Amino acid sequence: MTDLRTDRYPTRNDVTIGIEPRHDPVVWTQQPTGGPLSPAGVAQFETAGYLAVKTLVDADVVTDLRNELDRLRADSALAADERSICERDSGQIRSIFEVHRISPAFAALVADPRLVGPARQLLGSDVYVHQSRVNFKPGFNGREFYWHSDFETWHAEDGMPSPRAVSVSVALTENLDSNGSLMIMPGSHRWFVSCPGRTPPDHYRSSLKQQQIGTPDDASLAWLADQHGIRQITGPAGSAVFFDSNCMHGSSSNITPYARSNVFVVYNSVNNTLVEPFGATAPRPTFIASRVFDPV
């Protein structure tokens, strides 16, 4: 069946790969002062595509979430669940998806006004949880997350129409410049980079371990890095970063003894709910991309 929709962000599937200006706003709110972020914070997010917060979550909540991490990691039934993704070589747990439906502690976190408030403010609407996950990035064996735009994947594989979604990454262990902390190209969110290749069937079974399809070509990455630079986001447990769905970001492998374990919550606007994928034959499972759009 030919897809007659106009695709405003064509990618993969033999489209001409390249870099196009973003066709949508970054900050959707009508009242920049109508929410927990200061006008300066909103402006910084708009310009850089991300906003780092030194202390978003209190130490006692971090302790609870860390204990929860240990409990989830030790749960053998969960290890066999498709929501648990193992590292390609060590077999250690790399990520657990849909933690907000698995764990009451993470369910409370996604509803915490310190996370949801800024998301509603930036997206200018009610929001629902598109995806939640813990990325463990264990010491010694935590493998990289190669450069990518989340929105490119969510558009191609989940049918997300526009980049009207924001991720919050909360550090549950210290994010150092040595243990594979998040790298972002500030300002890259204003460009949409179409990627080469075609989406294989059940792509998530490999992409969540090591993403190859949906990563930009070297020339586009080099151009973006030359234009915008690369910033490393470090901070103590409890620190966080809000970042736009279309930021070019990635993180290196962790060969230090110190795990870099973060929880990621992705809020999507209720005005941007998923349709059919724009660059894949079938939608991904709902533990990766929720198709229940009830506002938080």
Single-letter code of the amino acid located at 79: A
Show the beta-strand stretches assigned E in 144-201. Answer: 145-149, 165-171, 182-184, 191-193
Contact 168, 233 (CB under 8 A): no
CB of 34 to Fe ion, least distance (A): 28
> How large is the greatest C-alpha to C-alpha distance in the chain, in angstroms?
53
Per-residue binding string, Fe ion, 136-155, x by CB under 5 A, is: --------------x-----
**Closest to ligand 6CS by CB, 33 or 206:** 206
Q: Is 84 a binder of ligand 6CS (CB under 6 A)?
A: no
In this complex, which beta carbon is closest to Fe ion, that of residue 126 or of residue 217? 217
Choice between 41 and 204, CB closer to ligand 6CS: 204
Contact 266, 130 (CB under 8 A): yes
Does 132 engage in binding with ligand 6CS (CB under 6 A)?
Answer: no
DSSP E strands: which ranges in the chain? 19-21, 50-53, 84-86, 93-97, 127-135, 145-149, 165-171, 182-184, 191-193, 231-232, 240-244, 248-251, 262-269
Instruction: Show the tokens assigned to 280.
Output: 């894949």
Q: How far is the CB of 99 from Fe ion (least distance, A)?
A: 16
Regarding 148 and contact with ligand 6CS (CB under 6 A), the answer is yes
Using alpha carbons, list the distances in angstroms from residue 246 to 71, 80, 166, 215: 32, 32, 9, 12
Alpha-carbon separation of residue 78 from 57, 73, 191 (angstroms): 26, 8, 38
Q: Cα separation of 16 and 18, whole Å?
A: 6
How many residues are given for the chain?
296
From the list ligand 6CS, Fe ion, none, which binds 215 (C-beta under 5 to 8 Å, kind-based)? none
CB of 264 to ligand 6CS, least distance (A): 6
Q: Is 52 in the site for ligand 6CS (CB under 6 A)?
A: no
Q: How far is the CB of 148 from Fe ion (least distance, A)?
A: 6
Q: What are phi and psi of 124, to 5 degrees?
A: 65, 30
160, 265, 288, 296: residue in contact with ligand 6CS (rule CB under 6 A) = 288
Note whether 153 binds ligand 6CS by CB under 6 A: yes
Q: Identify what 153 binds: ligand 6CS, Fe ion, none; CB under 5 to 8 Å per kind.
A: ligand 6CS
Number of residues that bind ligand 6CS (CB under 6 A): 9
Q: Going residue by residue from 85 to 124, which x/- string records binding to ligand 6CS, judged by CB under 6 A? A: ----------------------------------------
Nearer to ligand 6CS (CB atom), residue 38 or residue 212: 212
Contact 250, 153 (CB under 8 A): no
Nearer to ligand 6CS, 199 or 207 (CB): 207
* 166 contributes a contact to ligand 6CS by CB under 6 A: no
Binding residues for ligand 6CS (CB under 6 A): 131, 133, 145, 148, 150, 153, 207, 211, 288
Binding residues for Fe ion (CB under 5 A): 150
